[in-house]
Amino acid sequence: MKGKILLLSIMACLLASCVKNQAMPTTNGTTKPSLPTAIDPDQDGDAKGVNTFPQKEAATGRNVFIFDPKLTAWAAYDANGNLVNTGRASGGRSFCPDVGRSCKTIVGTFKVLSKGDSTCESSIYPLETNGGAPMPYCMKFSAKGYAIHGSDYVPDYNASHGCIRVTPTAAAWLSQYFITNGTTVIVRSY
């Protein structure tokens, strides 16, 4: 019995190190980065939503990206419905003074239509320059211009003109390893 408790304690400690994504000590006193884990495969240290989104969704046969504007978080589920990554996100705000209307992200189920690389930019915002705002790794999911993209500004509230902002590291991981044209995008209601 004591052996089982000790083993469980060791496993919990190792899991805690992976969750925090901290550098692991080596035998010679130096540290090395921890390996990618199923909890944080993009290694950005951002696991917002990991305890909120279910660990399993219905299998759809394709990857699914879910954004919840109430939680200001996203989740990525593989084709078998397994949660593989989460993180913070910021969607469209209730009112955008520069355009004089609501900028909420469209709600519903969509498919990724196209993807850009690290140099992707807005063709509209900021208005005063007719575009040019950085949108690294943009993943467009609506013909009306809505996209998931990286941003250095991902506050804990909805702040965009309608796009779903994620961290630049998360956007790169999503674009390179998870989202393809046709990937399902679900935007939950506000």
Domain residue extents for the chain: 1-35, 36-187
Look up the pTM and report it.
Answer: 0.78
Q: Pick from 100, 66, 96: which is nearest to 184 by CA?
A: 66
Whether the per-residue pLDDT at 7 is higher than 80: the answer is no
pLDDT score at 64 = 98
Summarize pLDDT for 88-142 with one digit per residue, the tens: 999 999 999 999 999 999 999 999 999 999 999 888 887 788 777 999 999 999 9
pLDDT score at 38 = 55
What are the b/e assignments for 136-164, b being 16+ CB within 10 Å? bbbbbbbeeebbbbbbeebeeebbbbbbb
71 contacts 45 by C-beta, under 8 angstroms: no
The topology (CATH level 3) of 36-187 is L,D-transpeptidase catalytic domain-like (2.40.440)
pLDDT score at 132 = 78
